[in-house]
Structure 1
Amino acid sequence: MNPTGPGVANGADVFFILMGAILVFAMHSGFAFLEVGTVRHKNQVNALVKILVDFAVSTLAYFFIGYGVAYGVHFFQSAAVLNGNEGAGFAPQGRDLVKFFFLLTFAAAIPAIISGGIAERAKFWPQVAATAIITALVYPFFEGLVWHGNHGVQDWFSANLGASFHDFAGSIVVHAVGGWIAFGAVTMLGHRTGRYTKDGRLIGFPPSSIPWLSLGSWLLCVGWFGFNVMSGGSLASVSGLVAMNSLMAMVGGILVALIAGRNDPGFVHNGALAGLVAVCAGSDLMHPLGALATGGVAGALFVYMFEWSQSRLKLDDVLGVWALHGLCGLWGGIACGIFGLTSLGGLGGVTFMSQLIGSLGGAAYALAAGFIIYGGLKKAVGIRLAKGDEMQGADLAIHKIGSTPEAEMGQR
């Protein structure tokens, strides 16, 4: 075989995208352990099961419906066609199949984000139903608008605002959409029993495990370099600038959250994620100093808005996903239109107005979807555990087993 022939090039791209898919798939374990460490001990098993089941349901919903909504592609053809052996629009050596896997891991991140907001008091099966709706219809529709140019929206941006809306790796498409849907879900669900006193004073619920929380953050940070860098989609388009900018934004988020959060370990570990969320949109365009500033602003934004939303809005968002993904993602989409400009050291090709309007539009779309989906489920089947089940904990109420069953049996 020719070592430089098309077969080797296609195989290299297949392997490259597959490694990206595996890295982002591994991020879902990060979502799981971040939630495990943040929730109370009696809800740890539920956190683990939710993330895994949501991924499985997302896979089927995206395979049968969602991917077609976003990209106009379906998989109801022979394996030979799907593998690219017989043309018909599929790339050789199954490259389009690993592309599906890679994009699926992004789609499945939406319910994983939401899971952290609604933890400790949500019914299991209504959330599974919401996951199916989101990954089959709600997320793919917006994904297709931005990343596939569906319905002429990107053409309108280019013609009227000077550039198409740019979101390289999903600050808006994934994170802001997930975070703003979660805002609707958390609002519809209501706060956990005992979270606020009758006069509205916030009562602290301590996390169950700082080591598990920190492990979740580390897993997400490592996987994020696949999330961002491998969004290029091929070896030919890979960019070290994306890796550098991701690194700098993460560091900016950590250090600012350390200071703004007064050394709180939860804020420090989530500060890293805030920076990475924000840099996704413009990681291929910004100067590293712009990425550092983007991440730093995101670190402060997460700390202050998490505290404000809990105390003033009475939004019992357990992991702070609205602040982390919704607001930091929104900031990231807008920041792309600032630090992506050539006048600020970026590569250009963006305008501030296209980024502002596109980012706000994505947040508004997701906010409406969150209230419609969870409001509808609340009215139709209910979305909240009974008070007794909530007090007992979702582990025993839903799964009939706790996180340390041998020790718990000895206590009875």
Structure 2
Amino acid sequence: MTFKKTLFTGGLIAGLAATAAFAQDATAPAADAAAAAAEAAPAAAGGVSPETAYILNTLLFLIGGFLVMWMAAGFAMLEAGLVRSKNVSMQCLKNIALYAIAGLMYWIVGYSLMYTGVDGGYIGTFAPYAFDPVGGNALDTGYSTASDWFFQMVFVATAASIVSGTLAERIKLWPFLLFTVLLTGFIYPIAGSWKWGGGWLNEMGFQDFAGSTLVHSVGGWAALAGALLLGARKGRFPKEGAPTAMPGSSIPLATLGTFILWLGWFGFNGASQLAMGTINDVSDVSRIFANTNLAAAGGVVAALILLQVIYKRVDVTMVLNGALAGLVSITAEPLTPSPLAAILIGAVGGVIVVFAVPMLDKLKIDDVVGAIPVHLLAGIWGTIAVPLTNSGASFSVQLIGIVAYGVFTFVVSLVVWGILKATIGIRVSEEEEALGLDRTEVGVEAYPEFAVGRA
């Protein structure tokens, strides 16, 4: 995986290192101080020596990776809060299972498909990924290969989590997990190779810094394909009248999940700088953190105001999704926007949520947690918005990338869901849905003391 930035800056820091070496021991002979400065200068060519840059870059991947891994907990809590009480255990089970499957599949085949031997093409190689030997290093790459694999792996788990929330409360466990195997092992890695693996879209100049399209829209397209074939929850869209509201089990849990996701996003976007061995890189990571936070805040405030204006009251679930939509929107380019531009980009994401949720209701597409507006539609918006602040991107190439990812992911997902539906079935029975998947699919109820007919 190539760096977005070089690991070395230049002579100014080398000069500062020479000054520091002299100041370190003012009583030393001038010759000794000069020798110390000469020794320090090469190491300071980019602020630190190659060995130190290797350590810092690896640390960035590891810290960013475990922050993104923490997003798995955020998705689990968000979904647990937004589904009904009788389906909470199922969502928790799906989220821990999909994370484990993603980790295995991305080692078995996913990483190599995405990054090994793509060379401007459409796909990498079919092989497990090999880490550095014990005690070994990869100074030629500038970071530990295992740290890079871990950082990339947690991204694919994020894509799978998006599908989980949309299809909640009516999908069978094992068909969902089988789809997760194919999504994390093949669909996502092949799509990711086109840009991040140095494939054909990368050659065209397509820009997607941390994955508004590569991660979020890919997950959104897969979720949409599943939702269309799975159908809506029983009673969600009556033949006449407005859609039936099905309130979730716990707004506090959903809010906690949102804050966890917001926190994890600093690793998602910040560590996508891919380097921390120079002053420039550390400054850029800091700027990415700030823009990421501003965009989320913009999404929240935009949703708040718009909901009050349109509905004369504020739906907390839409505000939560406004924050997430702001985060998704800035993910395609969190570095180059000014603070005001970051706020506006995130605010548009919040607006998308407010208008897209009722639009899906009109289309009778049942998206339990609002993942399609947040991840698919806001992801598309964020990718289109890149040229507004990044002069290296073009609207035409961005649109080509959006369409390519959309067609590939939606069509392949539709085929996979269709095969699963025709063979083992993907939907529980009406009776099982009415009883709740905790009792019928999992066997462990999240809130047994509140279950109907229980003491």
Cα distance between partner residues in 1 of 2:452 and 2:222: 39
Cα distance between partner residues in 1 of 2:140 and 2:230: 43
Cα distance between partner residues in 2 of 1:171 and 1:255: 21
Find the residue that maps to 1:177 and give its secondary structure.
helix
Cα distance between partner residues in 1 of 2:266 and 2:366: 30
1:307–1:84 distance in 2 versus 1, CA, 3 Å: farther
**Could you tell me which amino acid in structure 2 is paired with residue 121 of structure 1?**
R
Deviation at 1:86, TM superposition (A): 7.2
1:154 to 180, 188, 202: 202
Task: Give matches, 1:34-183, under 5 Å.
Answer: 34-72=78-116, 75=128, 81-83=132-134, 85=136, 95-150=144-199, 152-155=200-203, 157=204, 164-183=205-224
Find the residue that maps to 1:119 and give its secondary structure.
coil
1:90–1:317 distance in 2 versus 1, CA, 3 Å: farther
1:375 to 418, 424, 430: 418
Cα distance between partner residues in 2 of 1:367 and 1:409: 39
1:248–1:408 distance in 2 versus 1, CA, 3 Å: same
Deviation at 1:196, TM superposition (A): 1.6
Cα distance between partner residues in 2 of 1:165 and 1:142: 13
**Could you tell me which amino acid in structure 2 is paired with residue 265 of structure 1?**
V
Deviations for 1:39-97, whole angstroms, at most 9, x for unmatched residues? 000001111110100000111111101111001175565x6x4457276x9858x7110
Deviation at 1:380, TM superposition (A): 1.6
Deviation at 1:268, TM superposition (A): 1.0
Corresponding residue of 1:243: 289
Cα distance between partner residues in 1 of 2:421 and 2:56: 47
Corresponding residue of 1:25: 69
Deviation at 1:149, TM superposition (A): 1.6
2:375 to 318, 325, 332: 325
1:384 to 424, 427, 440: 427
Deviation at 1:131, TM superposition (A): 0.3
Cα distance between partner residues in 2 of 1:83 and 1:349: 40
Deviations for 1:231-263, whole angstroms, at most 9, x for unmatched residues? 111213341221222122111100011122332
Asked if the contact 2:109/2:128 (under 8 Å) is kept, the reply is: no
The percent of aligned pairs where both chains have the same amino acid is 35
Asked if the contact 1:330/1:363 (under 8 Å) is kept, the reply is: no
Asked if the contact 1:145/1:153 (under 8 Å) is kept, the reply is: yes
Corresponding residue of 1:217: 258
1:19–1:388 distance in 2 versus 1, CA, 3 Å: same
1:308 to 359, 364, 371: 359
Find the residue that maps to 1:146 and give its secondary structure.
coil
Deviations for 1:291-340, whole angstroms, at most 9, x for unmatched residues? 11111111010111011111x10001101111110000000000112233
1:84–1:374 distance in 2 versus 1, CA, 3 Å: farther
Corresponding residue of 1:198: 239
Q: Does 1:269 align with 2:312?
A: no
Asked if the contact 2:107/2:129 (under 8 Å) is kept, the reply is: no
Asked if the contact 1:83/1:97 (under 8 Å) is kept, the reply is: no
Corresponding residue of 1:279: 330
Deviation at 1:27, TM superposition (A): 0.6
1:183–1:134 distance in 2 versus 1, CA, 3 Å: same
Q: Which has the higher helix share?
A: 1
Deviation at 1:200, TM superposition (A): 5.9
**Could you tell me which amino acid in structure 2 is paired with residue 278 of structure 1?**
S
Corresponding residue of 2:230: 189
Deviation at 1:369, TM superposition (A): 2.4
**Could you tell me which amino acid in structure 1 is paired with residue 60 of structure 2?**
F
Deviation at 1:393, TM superposition (A): 0.5
Cα distance between partner residues in 1 of 2:385 and 2:271: 21
Cα distance between partner residues in 1 of 2:166 and 2:219: 10
Asked if the contact 1:84/1:91 (under 8 Å) is kept, the reply is: no
Deviates more, 1:185-194 or 1:287-296: 287-296
Q: Does 1:13 align with 2:42?
A: no
Cα distance between partner residues in 2 of 1:90 and 1:57: 31
Aligned pair count reads: 391
**Could you tell me which amino acid in structure 2 is paired with residue 374 of structure 1?**
W
Deviations for 1:86-142, whole angstroms, at most 9, x for unmatched residues? 76x9858x7110111111110111110000000000000010000000111110011
Deviations for 1:170-224, whole angstroms, at most 9, x for unmatched residues? 0000001111111111111000011121236311111111101100100000110
Q: Give structure 1 stretches of 5+ with no counterpart.
A: 158-163, 341-347
- Structure 1-normalised TM-score? 0.90
Larger radius of gyration: 2
Q: Give structure 2 stretches of 5+ with no counterpart.
A: 1-39, 117-124, 309-313
Deviations for 1:2-55, whole angstroms, at most 9, x for unmatched residues? 995443332222222101000000011110111011000000111111010000
Find the residue that maps to 2:341 and give its secondary structure.
helix
Deviates more, 1:226-235 or 1:368-377: 368-377
Task: Give matches, 1:401-412, under 5 Å.
Answer: 401-405=444-448, 408=451, 411-412=454-455
Deviation at 1:349, TM superposition (A): 1.2
Deviates more, 1:136-145 or 1:244-253: 244-253
Corresponding residue of 1:334: 384
- Structure 2-normalised TM-score? 0.82
1:64–1:231 distance in 2 versus 1, CA, 3 Å: same
